[in-house]
Amino acid sequence: MFRVDRRFLRNFDWVLLSLLVLVCGMAFLNLYSASYPPLGGMPPYQKQGYLLLMGVAGIIFLISFDYKELHFWNYPVYLLVILLLALVIFVGNSAGGAQRWINLGFFQLQPSEPAKLMMVITLASYYSRKEVANGYSIKDLITPIILMAIPFTLILIQPDLGTALMFVIIFISMTVFAKLRWSTYLILGCSGIALAVVGWLYVLKPYQKQRVETLLNPAKDSLGEGYQILQSKIAVGSGGIFGKGYMEGTQGHLHFLPERHTDFAYSVWCEEWGFAGSLFFLGVYFFLLFWGLHVAMSARDRFGLFLAFGVVALIFWQAVINLLMILGFLPVVGIPLPLFSYGGSSLLTTLLGIGILMNVSMRRCQAGSSLEGCDDV
Protein backbone atom coordinates (compact mmCIF):
# COMPACT_ATOMS: atom_id res chain seq x y z
CA MET A 1 0.00 0.00 0.00
CA PHE A 2 2.78 2.45 0.91
CA ARG A 3 5.32 1.40 -1.75
CA VAL A 4 6.31 4.43 -3.85
CA ASP A 5 7.00 3.87 -7.56
CA ARG A 6 10.08 5.80 -8.75
CA ARG A 7 8.11 6.83 -11.82
CA PHE A 8 5.72 8.74 -9.59
CA LEU A 9 8.61 10.65 -8.03
CA ARG A 10 9.94 11.54 -11.47
CA ASN A 11 6.46 12.87 -12.30
CA PHE A 12 6.27 14.90 -9.08
CA ASP A 13 4.40 18.19 -9.56
CA TRP A 14 7.13 20.75 -8.90
CA VAL A 15 4.95 23.59 -10.21
CA LEU A 16 2.30 22.92 -7.58
CA LEU A 17 4.95 22.64 -4.86
CA SER A 18 6.61 25.92 -5.94
CA LEU A 19 3.29 27.78 -5.89
CA LEU A 20 2.46 26.33 -2.47
CA VAL A 21 5.84 27.42 -1.03
CA LEU A 22 5.39 30.92 -2.45
CA VAL A 23 1.88 31.34 -1.03
CA CYS A 24 2.88 29.95 2.39
CA GLY A 25 5.95 32.20 2.44
CA MET A 26 3.83 35.31 1.87
CA ALA A 27 1.34 34.08 4.46
CA PHE A 28 4.08 33.63 7.07
CA LEU A 29 5.47 37.12 6.44
CA ASN A 30 1.99 38.57 6.79
CA LEU A 31 1.23 36.62 9.95
CA TYR A 32 4.46 37.78 11.57
CA SER A 33 3.52 41.39 10.87
CA ALA A 34 -0.14 41.01 11.84
CA SER A 35 0.67 39.36 15.20
CA TYR A 36 3.63 41.56 16.15
CA PRO A 37 4.38 42.25 18.95
CA PRO A 38 3.17 38.99 20.55
CA LEU A 39 0.93 39.52 23.56
CA GLY A 40 2.26 36.60 25.59
CA GLY A 41 2.75 32.89 25.25
CA MET A 42 3.81 31.27 21.99
CA PRO A 43 3.48 33.78 19.12
CA PRO A 44 0.87 32.88 16.46
CA TYR A 45 3.49 32.74 13.71
CA GLN A 46 5.49 30.17 15.71
CA LYS A 47 2.40 28.00 16.27
CA GLN A 48 1.56 28.28 12.57
CA GLY A 49 5.12 27.24 11.73
CA TYR A 50 4.83 24.04 13.74
CA LEU A 51 1.45 23.27 12.19
CA LEU A 52 2.90 23.93 8.74
CA LEU A 53 5.50 21.24 9.42
CA MET A 54 2.69 18.89 10.49
CA GLY A 55 0.90 19.68 7.25
CA VAL A 56 4.03 18.90 5.22
CA ALA A 57 4.24 15.54 7.01
CA GLY A 58 0.59 14.99 6.10
CA ILE A 59 1.33 15.72 2.44
CA ILE A 60 4.22 13.23 2.44
CA PHE A 61 1.93 10.62 3.97
CA LEU A 62 -0.83 11.25 1.42
CA ILE A 63 1.40 11.00 -1.64
CA SER A 64 2.94 7.74 -0.39
CA PHE A 65 -0.07 5.67 -1.45
CA ASP A 66 -2.43 5.61 -4.43
CA TYR A 67 -5.34 8.03 -3.96
CA LYS A 68 -7.73 5.24 -5.03
CA GLU A 69 -7.21 3.82 -1.53
CA LEU A 70 -9.43 6.69 -0.35
CA HIS A 71 -12.37 4.78 -1.81
CA PHE A 72 -11.89 2.25 0.99
CA TRP A 73 -11.15 4.76 3.76
CA ASN A 74 -13.88 7.18 2.74
CA TYR A 75 -16.75 6.02 4.95
CA PRO A 76 -14.66 5.13 8.05
CA VAL A 77 -13.20 8.65 7.94
CA TYR A 78 -16.67 10.08 7.36
CA LEU A 79 -17.99 8.35 10.48
CA LEU A 80 -14.97 9.50 12.52
CA VAL A 81 -15.49 13.13 11.51
CA ILE A 82 -19.22 12.92 12.27
CA LEU A 83 -18.38 11.59 15.74
CA LEU A 84 -15.98 14.49 16.30
CA LEU A 85 -18.63 16.99 15.19
CA ALA A 86 -21.10 15.43 17.62
CA LEU A 87 -18.47 15.41 20.37
CA VAL A 88 -17.94 19.16 19.95
CA ILE A 89 -21.55 19.79 20.92
CA PHE A 90 -21.05 18.13 24.32
CA VAL A 91 -17.42 18.72 25.32
CA GLY A 92 -16.14 21.34 22.88
CA ASN A 93 -14.47 24.57 23.97
CA SER A 94 -16.47 27.77 23.54
CA ALA A 95 -15.37 31.19 22.29
CA GLY A 96 -17.36 34.15 21.03
CA GLY A 97 -20.67 32.44 21.73
CA ALA A 98 -19.83 29.37 19.64
CA GLN A 99 -18.76 25.86 20.62
CA ARG A 100 -16.53 24.64 17.80
CA TRP A 101 -13.19 23.36 19.14
CA ILE A 102 -11.74 20.28 20.83
CA ASN A 103 -8.66 20.92 22.96
CA LEU A 104 -5.83 18.58 21.93
CA GLY A 105 -3.28 20.28 24.17
CA PHE A 106 -0.88 21.53 21.51
CA PHE A 107 -3.66 23.14 19.48
CA GLN A 108 -7.43 23.53 19.26
CA LEU A 109 -8.94 21.17 16.67
CA GLN A 110 -11.95 22.54 14.82
CA PRO A 111 -13.55 19.37 13.36
CA SER A 112 -15.65 21.35 10.89
CA GLU A 113 -12.46 22.15 8.92
CA PRO A 114 -11.37 18.55 8.12
CA ALA A 115 -15.07 17.79 7.65
CA LYS A 116 -14.99 19.97 4.51
CA LEU A 117 -12.24 17.84 2.97
CA MET A 118 -14.05 14.70 4.10
CA MET A 119 -17.12 15.97 2.20
CA VAL A 120 -15.05 16.39 -0.97
CA ILE A 121 -13.71 12.82 -0.71
CA THR A 122 -17.18 11.42 0.04
CA LEU A 123 -18.86 13.12 -2.92
CA ALA A 124 -15.95 12.23 -5.23
CA SER A 125 -16.28 8.59 -4.20
CA TYR A 126 -20.04 8.59 -4.77
CA TYR A 127 -20.03 10.32 -8.16
CA SER A 128 -17.13 8.23 -9.45
CA ARG A 129 -18.84 4.98 -8.46
CA LYS A 130 -22.29 5.96 -9.73
CA GLU A 131 -21.94 7.35 -13.23
CA VAL A 132 -25.18 8.32 -15.01
CA ALA A 133 -25.09 8.89 -18.77
CA ASN A 134 -28.04 11.29 -19.06
CA GLY A 135 -27.36 13.28 -15.89
CA TYR A 136 -28.33 12.68 -12.28
CA SER A 137 -31.98 12.72 -11.29
CA ILE A 138 -33.22 13.95 -7.92
CA LYS A 139 -33.54 10.29 -6.87
CA ASP A 140 -29.83 9.75 -7.59
CA LEU A 141 -28.98 12.69 -5.30
CA ILE A 142 -30.80 11.43 -2.21
CA THR A 143 -27.69 9.68 -0.84
CA PRO A 144 -25.25 12.60 -1.33
CA ILE A 145 -27.83 15.05 0.05
CA ILE A 146 -28.13 12.97 3.24
CA LEU A 147 -24.34 12.64 3.49
CA MET A 148 -24.07 16.45 3.22
CA ALA A 149 -27.04 17.23 5.51
CA ILE A 150 -25.63 15.37 8.54
CA PRO A 151 -22.43 17.46 9.01
CA PHE A 152 -24.32 20.57 7.86
CA THR A 153 -26.82 20.16 10.72
CA LEU A 154 -24.18 19.35 13.34
CA ILE A 155 -22.15 22.45 12.40
CA LEU A 156 -25.24 24.64 12.30
CA ILE A 157 -25.95 23.64 15.91
CA GLN A 158 -22.52 24.92 17.11
CA PRO A 159 -23.56 27.55 15.70
CA ASP A 160 -21.35 28.20 12.65
CA LEU A 161 -23.54 29.27 9.75
CA GLY A 162 -20.65 30.29 7.48
CA THR A 163 -18.90 26.91 7.67
CA ALA A 164 -22.21 25.04 7.40
CA LEU A 165 -23.03 26.87 4.18
CA MET A 166 -19.65 25.79 2.79
CA PHE A 167 -20.98 22.23 2.75
CA VAL A 168 -23.88 23.35 0.60
CA ILE A 169 -21.49 25.19 -1.73
CA ILE A 170 -19.20 22.14 -2.02
CA PHE A 171 -22.21 19.93 -2.73
CA ILE A 172 -23.57 22.28 -5.41
CA SER A 173 -20.17 22.71 -7.08
CA MET A 174 -19.37 19.01 -7.31
CA THR A 175 -22.93 18.00 -8.17
CA VAL A 176 -23.23 20.50 -11.03
CA PHE A 177 -19.80 19.36 -12.26
CA ALA A 178 -21.11 15.78 -12.26
CA LYS A 179 -23.93 16.83 -14.65
CA LEU A 180 -27.61 17.02 -13.76
CA ARG A 181 -30.85 16.68 -15.67
CA TRP A 182 -32.72 19.91 -16.33
CA SER A 183 -35.60 18.73 -14.15
CA THR A 184 -33.13 18.24 -11.30
CA TYR A 185 -31.86 21.82 -11.68
CA LEU A 186 -35.46 23.06 -11.45
CA ILE A 187 -36.29 21.01 -8.35
CA LEU A 188 -33.07 21.92 -6.54
CA GLY A 189 -33.43 25.61 -7.46
CA CYS A 190 -36.99 25.85 -6.14
CA SER A 191 -36.06 23.88 -3.02
CA GLY A 192 -33.07 26.16 -2.40
CA ILE A 193 -35.21 29.30 -2.61
CA ALA A 194 -37.80 27.82 -0.25
CA LEU A 195 -35.14 26.75 2.26
CA ALA A 196 -33.51 30.20 2.12
CA VAL A 197 -36.82 31.86 3.01
CA VAL A 198 -37.50 29.40 5.83
CA GLY A 199 -33.93 29.82 7.08
CA TRP A 200 -34.24 33.61 7.20
CA LEU A 201 -37.59 33.53 8.99
CA TYR A 202 -37.10 30.67 11.43
CA VAL A 203 -33.45 29.48 11.57
CA LEU A 204 -31.14 32.51 11.53
CA LYS A 205 -30.44 34.04 14.91
CA PRO A 206 -30.87 37.82 15.41
CA TYR A 207 -27.10 38.50 15.31
CA GLN A 208 -26.81 36.62 12.01
CA LYS A 209 -29.59 38.70 10.47
CA GLN A 210 -27.86 41.79 11.85
CA ARG A 211 -24.70 40.89 9.91
CA VAL A 212 -26.64 40.81 6.65
CA GLU A 213 -28.32 44.14 7.44
CA THR A 214 -24.95 45.62 8.39
CA LEU A 215 -23.58 44.60 4.99
CA LEU A 216 -26.18 46.78 3.30
CA ASN A 217 -25.36 49.79 5.49
CA PRO A 218 -22.22 49.33 7.65
CA ALA A 219 -22.11 53.04 8.56
CA LYS A 220 -25.41 52.68 10.41
CA ASP A 221 -23.61 50.87 13.24
CA SER A 222 -20.01 51.95 12.70
CA LEU A 223 -18.96 51.19 16.29
CA GLY A 224 -20.80 47.89 16.51
CA GLU A 225 -21.56 45.29 13.84
CA GLY A 226 -20.26 47.53 11.04
CA TYR A 227 -16.90 48.25 12.70
CA GLN A 228 -14.99 45.31 11.21
CA ILE A 229 -16.11 45.94 7.65
CA LEU A 230 -15.39 49.68 7.82
CA GLN A 231 -11.93 49.20 9.32
CA SER A 232 -11.10 46.51 6.78
CA LYS A 233 -12.10 48.76 3.87
CA ILE A 234 -10.01 51.59 5.35
CA ALA A 235 -6.99 49.27 5.61
CA VAL A 236 -7.36 48.02 2.04
CA GLY A 237 -7.84 51.50 0.60
CA SER A 238 -5.08 53.18 2.61
CA GLY A 239 -2.42 50.91 1.07
CA GLY A 240 -2.45 52.90 -2.15
CA ILE A 241 -0.44 51.62 -5.11
CA PHE A 242 2.66 50.25 -3.37
CA GLY A 243 1.55 50.07 0.29
CA LYS A 244 2.85 51.60 3.50
CA GLY A 245 5.69 49.12 3.84
CA TYR A 246 6.21 45.84 5.65
CA MET A 247 5.11 46.08 9.30
CA GLU A 248 4.20 49.75 8.77
CA GLY A 249 0.44 49.36 8.45
CA THR A 250 -1.37 51.66 10.86
CA GLN A 251 -4.79 49.98 10.89
CA GLY A 252 -3.27 46.68 11.95
CA HIS A 253 -0.46 47.75 14.25
CA LEU A 254 -2.53 50.40 16.01
CA HIS A 255 -5.20 47.73 16.65
CA PHE A 256 -7.99 49.42 14.71
CA LEU A 257 -8.50 46.28 12.62
CA PRO A 258 -10.01 43.37 14.60
CA GLU A 259 -9.06 39.75 13.84
CA ARG A 260 -6.18 41.04 11.73
CA HIS A 261 -4.28 37.75 11.71
CA THR A 262 -7.31 35.50 11.10
CA ASP A 263 -10.37 36.55 9.07
CA PHE A 264 -8.90 39.91 8.00
CA ALA A 265 -5.32 38.83 7.31
CA TYR A 266 -5.55 39.92 3.68
CA SER A 267 -6.53 43.44 4.78
CA VAL A 268 -3.15 43.69 6.52
CA TRP A 269 -1.40 42.53 3.34
CA CYS A 270 -3.25 45.11 1.22
CA GLU A 271 -2.35 47.94 3.59
CA GLU A 272 1.34 47.05 3.74
CA TRP A 273 1.92 46.01 0.12
CA GLY A 274 -0.67 48.08 -1.70
CA PHE A 275 -2.50 47.42 -4.94
CA ALA A 276 0.62 46.07 -6.68
CA GLY A 277 1.42 43.61 -3.89
CA SER A 278 -2.23 42.55 -3.69
CA LEU A 279 -2.34 41.78 -7.41
CA PHE A 280 0.89 39.78 -7.15
CA PHE A 281 -0.48 37.68 -4.30
CA LEU A 282 -3.82 37.09 -6.05
CA GLY A 283 -1.99 36.17 -9.26
CA VAL A 284 0.08 33.51 -7.50
CA TYR A 285 -2.86 32.28 -5.41
CA PHE A 286 -5.29 31.85 -8.27
CA PHE A 287 -2.63 30.38 -10.56
CA LEU A 288 -2.25 27.68 -7.88
CA LEU A 289 -6.00 27.02 -8.21
CA PHE A 290 -5.79 27.10 -12.01
CA TRP A 291 -2.99 24.53 -11.82
CA GLY A 292 -5.24 22.44 -9.59
CA LEU A 293 -7.86 22.44 -12.36
CA HIS A 294 -5.13 21.36 -14.77
CA VAL A 295 -4.39 18.44 -12.43
CA ALA A 296 -8.09 17.54 -12.38
CA MET A 297 -8.41 17.61 -16.17
CA SER A 298 -5.35 15.37 -16.58
CA ALA A 299 -6.41 12.84 -13.92
CA ARG A 300 -6.22 9.20 -14.95
CA ASP A 301 -9.74 8.30 -13.79
CA ARG A 302 -13.10 9.69 -12.76
CA PHE A 303 -12.33 9.48 -9.03
CA GLY A 304 -9.13 11.50 -9.44
CA LEU A 305 -11.02 14.04 -11.55
CA PHE A 306 -13.66 14.62 -8.86
CA LEU A 307 -11.12 14.58 -6.02
CA ALA A 308 -8.95 17.27 -7.62
CA PHE A 309 -11.93 19.37 -8.73
CA GLY A 310 -13.47 19.17 -5.25
CA VAL A 311 -10.27 20.31 -3.54
CA VAL A 312 -9.95 23.27 -5.93
CA ALA A 313 -13.62 24.18 -5.43
CA LEU A 314 -13.19 24.02 -1.64
CA ILE A 315 -10.20 26.38 -1.64
CA PHE A 316 -11.63 28.65 -4.35
CA TRP A 317 -14.98 29.34 -2.68
CA GLN A 318 -13.44 29.95 0.73
CA ALA A 319 -10.97 32.39 -0.84
CA VAL A 320 -13.67 34.23 -2.79
CA ILE A 321 -15.95 34.50 0.25
CA ASN A 322 -13.11 35.78 2.46
CA LEU A 323 -11.95 38.34 -0.12
CA LEU A 324 -15.49 39.62 -0.73
CA MET A 325 -16.03 39.73 3.03
CA ILE A 326 -13.04 41.97 3.77
CA LEU A 327 -14.05 44.26 0.89
CA GLY A 328 -17.55 44.65 2.30
CA PHE A 329 -19.42 42.72 -0.40
CA LEU A 330 -20.44 39.85 1.90
CA PRO A 331 -21.34 39.65 5.61
CA VAL A 332 -18.62 38.71 8.10
CA VAL A 333 -19.13 34.95 8.40
CA GLY A 334 -15.78 33.75 9.76
CA ILE A 335 -14.50 32.02 6.61
CA PRO A 336 -10.65 32.06 6.55
CA LEU A 337 -8.48 32.64 3.49
CA PRO A 338 -6.98 29.14 3.02
CA LEU A 339 -3.19 28.94 3.56
CA PHE A 340 -3.12 32.66 4.46
CA SER A 341 -5.28 33.21 7.54
CA TYR A 342 -4.04 32.03 10.94
CA GLY A 343 -5.70 28.83 12.08
CA GLY A 344 -4.30 25.36 12.63
CA SER A 345 -7.31 23.31 11.55
CA SER A 346 -7.79 25.33 8.37
CA LEU A 347 -4.09 25.16 7.48
CA LEU A 348 -3.81 21.41 8.03
CA THR A 349 -7.00 20.73 6.08
CA THR A 350 -5.88 22.84 3.12
CA LEU A 351 -2.41 21.26 3.07
CA LEU A 352 -3.97 17.79 3.09
CA GLY A 353 -6.12 18.92 0.18
CA ILE A 354 -2.97 20.04 -1.67
CA GLY A 355 -1.49 16.63 -0.84
CA ILE A 356 -4.44 15.00 -2.61
CA LEU A 357 -3.84 17.23 -5.65
CA MET A 358 -0.19 16.17 -5.69
CA ASN A 359 -1.22 12.53 -5.39
CA VAL A 360 -3.58 12.78 -8.36
CA SER A 361 -0.94 14.65 -10.39
CA MET A 362 1.83 12.14 -9.66
CA ARG A 363 -0.35 9.18 -10.61
CA ARG A 364 -1.86 10.61 -13.77
CA CYS A 365 0.69 8.57 -15.77
CA GLN A 366 0.12 4.85 -16.09
CA ALA A 367 2.27 2.43 -18.01
CA GLY A 368 1.87 3.22 -21.68
CA SER A 369 0.10 6.52 -20.99
CA SER A 370 0.15 9.04 -23.82
CA LEU A 371 -0.53 12.07 -21.62
CA GLU A 372 1.77 14.99 -22.33
CA GLY A 373 4.50 15.34 -19.73
CA CYS A 374 4.35 11.74 -18.58
CA ASP A 375 7.67 10.08 -17.82
CA ASP A 376 7.03 6.38 -18.35
CA VAL A 377 9.22 3.58 -17.08
The string of pLDDT tens digits covering residues 139-157 is: 989 999 999 999 999 998 8
| pLDDT value at residue 367 | 44
13-40 pLDDT, tens digit per residue, is 899 999 999 999 999 999 988 887 776 6
224: confidence class by pLDDT, cuts 50, 70, 90: low
Query: What pTM was estimated for this model as a whole?
Result: 0.89
In the predicted structure, residue 170 carries a pLDDT above the cut 90? yes
| pLDDT value at residue 213 | 63
Q: Helical H runs in the chain?
A: 6-10, 14-34, 44-62, 70-91, 112-129, 142-157, 161-178, 182-198, 206-216, 227-238, 250-253, 265-297, 302-326, 344-362
351: confidence class by pLDDT, cuts 50, 70, 90: very high
- Maximum separation of any 2 CA atoms in the chain, in Å: 66
In the predicted structure, residue 3 carries a pLDDT above the cut 80? no
Residue type, 200: W
In the predicted structure, residue 218 carries a pLDDT above the cut 90? no
| pLDDT value at residue 368 | 41
179-217 pLDDT, tens digit per residue, is 888 888 898 889 888 888 887 777 777 766 666 666 555
Enumerate the domain spans of the chain: 6-362
| pLDDT value at residue 370 | 47
Q: Cα(43)–Cα(30) distance, rounded to whole angstroms? A: 13
pLDDT (average), residues 332-336: 81
249-299 pLDDT, tens digit per residue, is 777 666 667 767 778 888 889 889 989 999 999 999 999 999 999 999 999
* 29-44 per-residue burial string, b: 16 or more CB within 10 A, e: under 16: bbbbbbbeeeeeeebb
| Helix 302-326 × helix 112-129 angle, to 10° | 140
In the predicted structure, residue 103 carries a pLDDT above the cut 70? yes
